[in-house]
């Protein structure tokens, strides 16, 4: 394969947890070639988080057909500038510059995600100004990865499965395998014996637990699951959460971080609420794996939830000897970088018009490319 077909890309991810930005350097052809460069996680400044939290509130109250809330434009500028200053600092630390890159792949900030249902098309909003970023950096930018899929009737999520498959092609594991990404929402990628992929969002992951911690003024999240481990699970409340019709719906399917609320644990003590929400995450994840019809030989945990030792230990206890549980780092993957790498990888696939979503991952009618290319304006 010619080196000319390999692109050097800087990928970016900011998740719905609003905890920070992930950046990762990847050289790839958008298929099997993966060469990993530096990566970094940087916390989100309070002032950026405050704007985005207000924007999420506006998005959740935005009627269909109404003009876009004015705060969206403010948030686009804030999140784009945040990407720029974060990348400048990261690249300076690495002795690199934007001129070293062929392409930038940016997910943008999700403030709203509504799945299609009952003949009503979905809505998904990832705020970012790709053209402004291209002009600021002098590098081509691919963003708006989900829009084409939703316009074609797909769920718009999850998108990372195509990258999970590329990672698994380099791993020495027997198939089938499940890759579970535990972000604000949990999603799974199933890679079957033939290497085909299917996917779905399984339920909340860190989102509700983080909200509970923040509601009680105890910081932004339960580090290591220490507080959850001190609590007692309320099984009736977990059962009530799991009675939601989403869990019996056919896959592929997707969620917004705010599709579930804290109402189901109101009245519980702090630790008991966390333990109950953690059990909800665990049970919905296991339910999703069962719904997939897969009996995996391995389950690999990625995303921030892999750092919740209490959740990981509870999961480990649920699998029998036929299923091995791994953290992403056990396979040499950079657990904090996977989603940023995924959007770097998908940026190249977009540039090459290769598909990033599939009938078995988002429910779209046929394999579809996505992403919008922004070319720097002449200076």
Same domain, 244 and 313: yes
Q: Does residue 198 lie in a domain region?
A: yes
Side-chain-side CA neighbours of 127 within 13 Å: the count stands at: 27
Last residue within a domain, chosen from 331, 346, 361: 331
17 is in an annotated binding site: yes
Q: How far apart are CA 145 and CA 105, in angstroms?
A: 9
* 379 in any annotated domain: no
**22 annotated as belonging to a binding site for a ligand:** yes
pLDDT of residue 2: 41
Best CA proximity match to 36, nearest among 48, 45, 28: 28
Establish if 306 belongs to a structural domain.
Answer: yes
261 in a known ligand binding site: no
Q: Could you tell me if 151 and 167 lie in one domain?
A: no
Considering the domain architecture, whether residues 136 and 227 belong to the same structural domain is answered as no
Q: Does 108 belong to an annotated binding site?
A: no
Do both 186 and 249 map to the same domain? yes
Residue 71 annotated as lining a ligand binding site: no
Report the C-alpha gap between 195 and 300 in whole angstroms.
16
Q: Are residues 166 and 153 in the same domain?
A: no
The verdict on residue 212 lying in a domain is yes
Residues 138 and 195 in one domain: no
Look at residue 233 and tell me if it is in a domain: yes
**217 annotated as belonging to a binding site for a ligand:** no
Query: Would you give per-residue pLDDT tens digits along the chain (379 residues)?
Result: 345 589 999 999 999 889 899 999 999 999 999 999 999 999 999 999 999 999 999 999 999 999 999 999 999 999 999 999 999 999 999 999 999 999 999 999 999 999 998 888 899 999 999 999 999 999 999 999 999 999 999 999 999 999 999 999 999 899 999 999 999 999 999 999 999 999 999 999 999 999 999 999 999 999 999 999 999 999 999 999 999 999 999 999 999 988 999 999 999 999 999 999 999 999 999 999 999 999 999 999 999 999 999 999 999 999 988 999 999 999 999 999 999 999 999 999 999 999 999 999 999 999 999 999 999 997 6
Does 204 map to a domain? yes
Which residue has 């490319």 as its token pair? 369
Same domain, 268 and 350: no
Quote the CA–CA distance of 139 and 119 in Å, as a whole number.
40
Domain count, the chain: 2
156 is in an annotated binding site: no
24 and 141, same structural domain?
A: yes
270 and 347 part of one domain: no
pTM as predicted: 0.95
Query: What is the CATH classification number for the domain harbouring 140?
Result: 3.30.420.40
Q: Is residue 27 part of a domain?
A: yes
Shared domain for 178 and 136, answered yes or no, is: no
Q: Measured between alpha carbons, how far is 279 from 67 in angstroms, rounded to an integer?
A: 39
363 is in an annotated binding site: no
Q: Is residue 54 part of a domain?
A: yes
Q: Do 209 and 149 fall within a single domain?
A: no
What is the domain extent for residue 74?
3-157+336-374
Identify whether residues 108 and 205 lie together within a single domain.
Answer: no
């Amino acid at each position: 394969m010619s080196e000319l077909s390999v692109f050097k890309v800087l990928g970016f991810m900011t998740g719905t947890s609003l905890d920070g930005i992930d950046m990762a350097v990847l050289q790839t052809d958008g298929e099997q070639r993966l060469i990993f460069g530096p990566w970094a996680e940087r916390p989100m400044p309070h002032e950026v988080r405050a704007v985005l939290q207000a924007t999420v509130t506006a998005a959740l109250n935005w009627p269909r057909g109404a003009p876009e809330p004015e705060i969206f434009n403010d948030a686009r500028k804030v999140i784009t500038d945040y990407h720029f200053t974060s990348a400048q600092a990261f690249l300076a630390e690495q002795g690199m510059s934007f001129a070293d890159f062929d392409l930038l792949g940016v997910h943008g900030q999700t403030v709203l995600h509504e799945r299609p249902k009952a003949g009503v098309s979905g809505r998904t909003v990832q705020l970012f100004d790709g053209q402004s970023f291209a002009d600021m950096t002098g590098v081509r930018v691919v963003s708006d990865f989900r829009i084409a899929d939703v316009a074609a009737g797909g769920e718009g999520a999850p998108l990372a499965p195509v990258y999970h498959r590329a990672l698994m092609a380099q791993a020495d594991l027997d198939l089938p395998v499940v890759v579970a990404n535990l972000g604000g929402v949990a999603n799974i990628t199933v890679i079957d014996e033939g290497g085909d992929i299917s996917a779905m969002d399984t339920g909340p992951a860190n989102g509700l637990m983080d909200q509970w911690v923040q509601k009680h003024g105890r910081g932004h999240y339960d580090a290591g699951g220490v507080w959850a481990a001190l609590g007692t699970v309320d099984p009736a409340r977990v059962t009530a959460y799991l009675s939601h019709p989403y869990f019996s719906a056919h896959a592929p399917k997707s969620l917004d971080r705010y599709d579930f609320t804290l109402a189901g644990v109101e009245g519980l003590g702090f630790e008991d609420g966390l333990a109950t929400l953690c059990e909800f995450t665990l049970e919905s994840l296991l339910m999703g794996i069962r719904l997939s019809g897969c009996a995996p030989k391995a389950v690999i945990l990625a995303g921030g939830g892999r750092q919740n030792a209490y959740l990981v230990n509870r999961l480990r206890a649920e699998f029998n000897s036929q299923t091995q549980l791994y953290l992403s780092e056990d396979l040499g993957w950079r657990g904090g970088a996977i989603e940023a790498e995924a959007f770097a990888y998908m940026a190249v696939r977009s540039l090459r018009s290769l598909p990033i979503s599939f009938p078995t991952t988002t429910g779209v009618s046929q394999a579809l490319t996505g992403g919008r290319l922004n070319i720097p304006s002449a200076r």
